[in-house]
Amino acid sequence: MASYIPDLTKDNISLYLMPVGFMIALAPRFFAANTYKQATNGKDLLRNLNPRDFTAIVREDKAIDQKTKMRIARAEAAQANGFENLGLFAAAVTAASLARVDPSIVNGLTIGYLDVYLSRGVGMLMALFVKAGQKLSNSIL
């Protein structure tokens, strides 16, 4: 059974990476919803009725501490930022693909964009872990 692994210098896979960009942009929403669910002992708020009110509902919920509310608000802001940039990303990838720009350039820039977007977010989370570790080590000693 043969498998097909694309040659990134010849095969344009950038259009297949647009759903990856969508999933990266959507991931903070799942984090926010899961954080809310844990903070409220299982209360699920992911309703399609009015998803834009999620942050306002969280802000007014008395059962959640301020730190968790801010974490959820940051995740929602990250999700909004991701979707604001997604259209420009998709337009750039589509334009480059339709113009038949060299696949190695299109693939490299598309993968590079997603890598930087993802690693920047992970890098910020790692920075938070380091800061938390420093704070905890100072308070324990």
pLDDT in tens, 80-124: 999 998 999 999 999 999 999 999 999 999 999 999 888 887 777
| Cα–Cα distance for residue pair 129/123, rounded to 1 Å | 10
| Cα–Cα distance for residue pair 128/52, rounded to 1 Å | 27
pLDDT in tens, 12-40: 889 999 999 999 999 998 998 888 888 88
String of b and e for 43-68 (b: at least 16 CB within 10 Å)?
Answer: eeeeeeeeeeebbeebeebeebeeeb
- What is the structure's pLDDT at 56? 85
Q: Decide if 101 contacts 7 (C-beta within 8 A).
A: no
Angstrom CA distances, 113 to 16, 42, 94, 128, stand at: 14, 36, 14, 23
Mean pLDDT value across residues 45-62: 76
pLDDT in tens, 6-17: 877 888 889 999
Q: What is the pTM of this model?
A: 0.76
